[in-house]
Copies of this chain bind each other. A is one copy, B any other.
Amino acid sequence: MKSSGQTTINDVARIAGVSKKTVSRVINRSPLLNDDTRRRVEDVIAELAYIPNPQARALALRRNFLIGLVHDNPNAQMVMNVQQGILEALHGTEFELVVRPVDRGSATMLVDLRHFLERQRLFGLVLLPPISENDTIAKLCAEIGCRYVRMGSARLDDDDHMVASNDCEAVRGATEYLIAQGHRRIGLIAGPHGFRSARERRLGFEQALADAGIALPRSMIADGTYTFESGLTAAERLLDLMPRPTAIFACNDEMAAGVMHAARQRGLDIPKDLSIVGFDDTPVAAHVWPPLTTVRWPIASMARSAALKLTAGLDGEDIVEEPSLFLSTLIRRASVAAPSH
């Protein structure tokens, strides 16, 4: 070991009595290596507690050991869950996680992202919804040679490049649950236009009503933007209807919390006068009063699989096929009851 710093590949080579290249082969698990040699080198590596320098590897390989998380998702808990899932997958590997929020509205978003990818030569990208729905970004990655996996509410890409939840079916199930409770006048607070998740969730809602033979007048659907305030405003419109809905499905928890405020402000009792269902099962769902019935999707597991897809087949590991489709669960809490009239 040179006095100046860390143990290098040269130290290992010298002490093991082999060339650097042989050590390099051991590090990279080259199959064409004498077992004796490999073992000898591995012993020296262990003894010196040698760790290959990621910067040098990055330079030589023309590729960094960084996984990027690209997102424009305003929901903190969601982003954190994704980070946690990715880090779980990356734990014990040489990969690190770099976060990169982007602004969907910005005109320079694509150019910025391209610069970022070209400069940093990331190993791969996990794309969070809603930006993951942008096909141009996927094409950009393919063009630059950066691996990517997109997370989404439905199949956005081929299996190697996406993990998806089944939002449509999940919402259908949740709506069927409301119907089973006896509700017939059910309002929907939809998500923002252009969001795939909004489309899928609305579709599931409509299907459930259609299957049950319940008419869905346009007035029972209010537009929202996934924010608390938009939920509040939309709920005010729905609650002005005569007769008003006995239940409201909000396409995410934030908006459902807004519905609760709107109901409370008019003195409505939840769930007696109004049942409410949300989507996401963010912490707010459990912490509002009454606790919110909602749909939980396995966001951390999905992110974990996404990261594993990215790094699959690198370490000479057995290639385990990661799942691409993930199922959601209806979490039943106190915000739903049979209609009282």
A interface residues (Cβ-Cβ under 8 A, vs B): 5-6, 51, 53-56, 58-59, 62, 64, 66, 76-77, 79-81, 83-84, 87, 94, 96-101, 115, 118-121, 228, 254, 257-258, 260-261, 264, 283-284, 286-289
Contact = CB atoms under 8 A, between A and B. Distances in A.
B99 A97 contact: yes
Contacts of A261: 287, 289
A294 to B, nearest CB: 14
A20 to B, nearest CB: 16
A76 B76 CA distance: 6
A56 B99 CA distance: 21
Contacts of A83: 99, 101
Contact of A101 (B51, B84, B98, B118): B84
Given A97-B98, A118-B6, A121-B55, A287 B286 contact: no
29 contacts: A6-B118, A51-B119, A53-B119, A54-B119, A54-B120, A55-B55, A55-B62, A55-B64, A58-B58, A59-B59, A66-B96, A76-B79, A76-B283, A80-B80, A83-B99, A83-B101, A84-B101, A87-B99, A96-B98, A98-B98, A99-B99, A228-B287, A254-B287, A257-B287, A258-B287, A260-B289, A261-B289, A287-B288, A288-B289
B55 A286 contact: no
Contacts of A286: 228
B101 A87 contact: yes
Contacts of A54: 119-120
